[in-house]
Structure 1
Amino acid sequence: MEEKELKTQITELNQKVDLLLEYVNQQRLKTNQLEDLVADFSIVGKDMYDSAVEELDNRMVNLDLDQVKGLALRFLRNIDNINNFLELFESMNDLIKDASPIFNEVIIDFTKKMNEFDQKGYFEFFAEAGNIFDNIITHYSPEDVRSLSENVITILETVRSATQPEMMSAINNGLKIYGSIEMENIPEYSIFKVMREMNKPEMKRALGFFVTFMKNMAAETNTK
């Protein structure tokens, strides 16, 4: 019985040793692979270094190792700042992706509105309006503009008075009457015929309006 237990223990021990040897062998293989990889990287790194040195030498570029070391240290010191910048960049990129449909809609609406303005003739109108300003600038001298600026209040007051409803109605009536007169068929009036016309009520009202207008204008002139 004891011999059987001893054999069992020996068998288990052999299995454990086999597992241990297999593990050691695997670790050795991994170590060899790692060494091969390091060796390959060393060869590639050396080739890259030699190529870089040769290229820099051909381009007559001199590197200060202290500056390179300082740059590397500075880079390492600013790892947090670089990460923050990358996070900010990612956030901006996400914002642009989210806002792109909105920007596209704005551009489409803006294009449609510009096309609508073009169809209505806005751009052509403003182009012609530019010609108006160009003609004004070329026609009037700076002295004329200065004189206009000195009298702009009077001009605006005159325009405001002339654009009152009663004034606009009177001007409109006068223009209509003037347009209805046939300039080619104006009748001739003798002195006696004029005197007879003067006795008519409408002519008396017209004379009264004219005299009153002249008197008020003279009075306004005298007050100034």
Structure 2
Amino acid sequence: MDATEKKLVNNDFKDIMLNRHSYRKFKKDVKISDEEITQILKEAISAPSACNLQSWHFVVCNTPEAKKRAREVMMPFNYPQIDTASTVIFVMGDIQSHYKYRDVWNKAAENGQITTEERDKIFKTFLPLYEKADRNFLEKDATLDGSMVAMQLLLLARAHGYEANPMSGYYFDKVVPQFGLDPERYIPITSIAIGKPDEEFTKSVRYDVSEVTDFA
């Protein structure tokens, strides 16, 4: 058992995944330290990403002042989560992540994880694809990456003994500038309220898998 695994309160994958629910009210007296949030995010960024671009960025609202700023860009039906959650994390997409692409793969080559030939092949194939891409392509790519890391973040919140609620009810054009980020680089993907639940979750009905699946 490694150091990361020892920190998990719940290591039952089936329970973590199948018993995940969205709560809209949390216990106000529960605090989550910056250190634990950092650990959760460190675990979350093991998520896959397109071409290993890791096109994500996080804004952690872990203080009353930061949560107030988060509330200012949220729609009213999400106020209960904002007002009671221990922390709120905005997941952003980074559409300029390819600018750092060489650093990632140079480090992989230096560490012996790939050969220099494999690295150079990546530089000649994937890198030009992103360097020549338009904003629409880059936004879709970053949205894919951000969505995968957000789902992982939701599950890890449960693994650490909390519950979480993903939220998209905010003013998309206001989120990035609200936190002093560059709107030419970052796009909002979702926001996640995390804490200890203070009410029962709303039970939802799921479509039968046959209604949403085609075998080609």
Q: Same fold (TM over 0.5)?
A: no
Instruction: Name the one with the larger strand percent.
Output: 2
Q: Which has the larger radius of gyration?
A: 1
TM-score by length of 1: 0.18
Instruction: Name the one with the larger helix percent.
Output: 1
Q: Which one scores higher on RCO, CA 8 angstroms, separation ≥ 6?
A: 2
TM-score by length of 2: 0.18
